[in-house]
Structure 1
Amino acid sequence: MTPALPLVLLGLVDAAFSGYAGSDARIRKQRASARAALRGLAVGAVLLLAPMLIAALLLLTTRDQARTYNTLTAGGLGYLLPLTIYATAVLLSLAVYFTLPFRASTLAMVIGLGPLTLLRPLAIAAACLGAVLNGGGGSALLVGVIAGAAVLCVEPAVHRRWYHHVQ
């Protein structure tokens, strides 16, 4: 099993959520929220091309493509495990946020989603460590670091492009 598809999907979902950087505080904001998510998705899709291109270059320039593919696959699986745990925690916090009454959902946002947002870089660092520990080596670490940088750059890029004037 190749972990590429789940990792790309996870990165794109993360990018869509990252599109909310600096979005407005209007009460009725379904259209604004959809636009923000699409902006994040578009920026994330472009930025996530970088790790895919690096992986393709690694595969095209190696002498032993099967070995490199297996190494990248092992690294990708190691990268996926910490991110799956992190994504599960985020989904549980979102479920609590959307199902509980207003005050309880606000508390869920403050104690769940807020800290989890701040922990994104640590989750990516754990994923990079998982890639190496699972046998991915330097090539998987390289792809993982570039992928992590790509998803972490979505929010600042979206903010700079569309929300820089919002204070």
Structure 2
Amino acid sequence: MVSASIVVPGVLASIALVDGVLAGFRAATGRNGLIRKRGYYLVAMRRGLVAGGAVLGCLALVLAVVLATAPDPATRYGDLTHAGITMLWFIGPYASVVVASLIGYAVLPRRPATFLILLGLGPLTLIRPWVTIAAGLTAAWTAPNLPTAACAVLAATGALAVEPWVHRRWYAEPA
């Protein structure tokens, strides 16, 4: 059986990278008048993935410093894992519905797929920042120490910063 200390960081990193891809897509929507936008959106999603990966890399460096400077790194890693589990209680159900909507979009006929996207992803895009903020603040509130709380808030802030960063960098002006 795989330990939570391995699964939790992996799941959170995967969710962050998928969120970066979707942030790139959201940043690019409505910015181009082309009829066939597949290539345009693929570039946008790649940019979001790179931006999300950069934010994730910066967070990994901060976490490495927090662990390296801890009096007991094993205990601090356990605290960080617990904060990650707390965040997953909020983000996990949200991410599951998003993935289910995307799978439905990929496999269903056009009309039901479009309805599923409108029903699922439309409202979920609006509550995404609130779910992320709730996850970060709850993990920080329940954290046993200040460095763990700061890392939880930094992770939530970093996830929310990807879309504005991609938007300002590449899509501030219509193409």
Normalised to the residue count of structure 1, the TM-score between the two structures is: 0.86
Q: Deviations over 1:70-101 (max 9, x none)?
A: 11111112212221111011122223334444
> 1:18 maps to which residue?
23
Tell whether the 8 Å contact from 2:55 to 2:158 is kept in structure 1 after alignment.
yes
Matches of 1:137 and 1:115, distance apart in 2: 35
> 1:165 maps to which residue?
173
Matches of 2:97 and 2:144, distance apart in 1: 25
Query: The residue matched to 1:164 in structure 2 has which SS?
Result: coil
Matches of 2:109 and 2:142, distance apart in 1: 42
What amino acid is the match of 1:66? Answer: A
Count of residue pairs the alignment pairs up: 167
Tell whether the 8 Å contact from 1:18 to 1:154 is kept in structure 2 after alignment.
yes
Q: Deviations over 1:12-40 (max 9, x none)?
A: 11101110113435342222121111100
Tell whether the 8 Å contact from 2:21 to 2:52 is kept in structure 1 after alignment.
yes
Over aligned residues, Cα RMSD in angstroms? 2.2
> 1:156 maps to which residue?
164
* Structure 1, gaps ≥5 residues long: none
Q: Deviations over 1:35-58 (max 9, x none)?
A: 111100011111122322221111
Query: The residue matched to 1:119 in structure 2 has which SS?
Result: helix
How do 1:134-153 and structure 2 match up within 5 A?
137-153=145-161
Q: Deviations over 1:93-123 (max 9, x none)?
A: 2233344444443333333211101111121
Identity %: 37
* Structure 2, gaps ≥5 residues long: none
